[in-house]
Amino acid sequence: MTTVLKLGGSVVTVKDEPETVDDERLAAAADAVVAAEDDLVVIHGGGSFGHHHAAEHGVSTTDGTHDAGAVQAIHGAMARLNARIVAELTERGVPAVPIHPFSAGARTGDGTLKFPPEQIRTALGEGFVPVLHGDLVVQAGEGATVLSGDELVVELASALGADRIGVCSTVPGVLDGDGAVIERIDDIRDVADALGASDATDVSGGMAGKVRTLLALSAPAQIFGPDALAEFLAGGTPGTTVGDGG
């Protein structure tokens, strides 16, 4: 069994304080990972490490930079957060190893991500827990653009044929209009109103886009909050179940 786990940047960092880890939440997340039994790939977001650097330099998933200093500022901050998370896991006996997407992937001129996964597959086979992160990648014609943790989740879950996908963010699941967790989503149309995803051109990167891309995968995904991480890693299906692998 291979599980791809996304740890939202907002779960492990303090949102409004640049480059500040939320020590307590990171420790709790790392504690939960110790108990995981499946082959596990961890992907974390940028939170207060990546986003403000990217915004400062005007870099997004589509607008790139050719400024190597900007690349180092953004990528360097993400690598520092990655090192911190890898260290927390290692301290607890998790055989975590860092994989930096900037070193591995690239986009073609039309934005298509090419991310050869053999190093991750091999690492899993050897018992390591690869820890990746939202990052920059080089893109033909654009310099370097943002590769979000969410895009990486979809890419790797598909490339590795993951059996389970977990997206841990600060909300307990996908919420309906009344703020209650939707138990299951099999079709984006069923929740279009609640998510404000009324047309097919949603590019917000918000929950609607997240659900849409997770629905396209051939394995079920769970969207849940930090308190349910241990339950998910123990094989449970907390929060919202997106798709059924059908």
Binding site for its own copies (CB under 8 A): 66-69, 71-72, 75-76, 83, 86-87, 90, 94-107, 114, 116, 118-119, 121-123, 125-129, 137-144
Tell the smallest beta-carbon distance from residue 163 to its own copies (Å). 21
Decide whether 57 or 121 has the Cβ nearer to its own copies.
121
Tell the smallest beta-carbon distance from residue 8 to its own copies (Å). 22
Contact 142, 64 (CB under 8 A): yes
Tell the smallest beta-carbon distance from residue 230 to its own copies (Å). 21
Decide whether 120 or 165 has the Cβ nearer to its own copies.
120
Tell the smallest beta-carbon distance from residue 114 to its own copies (Å). 6
* Nearest CA-CA partner of 133 in 36, 225, 20, 47: 47
Decide whether 49 or 128 has the Cβ nearer to its own copies.
128
Tell the smallest beta-carbon distance from residue 139 to its own copies (Å). 7
Beta bridge partners of 146: 136
Decide whether 68 or 180 has the Cβ nearer to its own copies.
68
Residue 182 DSSP code: P
Report the alpha-carbon distance of residue 195 to residue 173 in Å, rounded.
12
Contact 54, 60 (CB under 8 A): yes
Report the alpha-carbon distance of residue 224 to residue 173 in Å, rounded.
5
Decide whether 129 or 233 has the Cβ nearer to its own copies.
129
φ and ψ of 9, to 5 deg: -60, -35
The distance in angstroms from the start CA to the end CA of the chain is 18
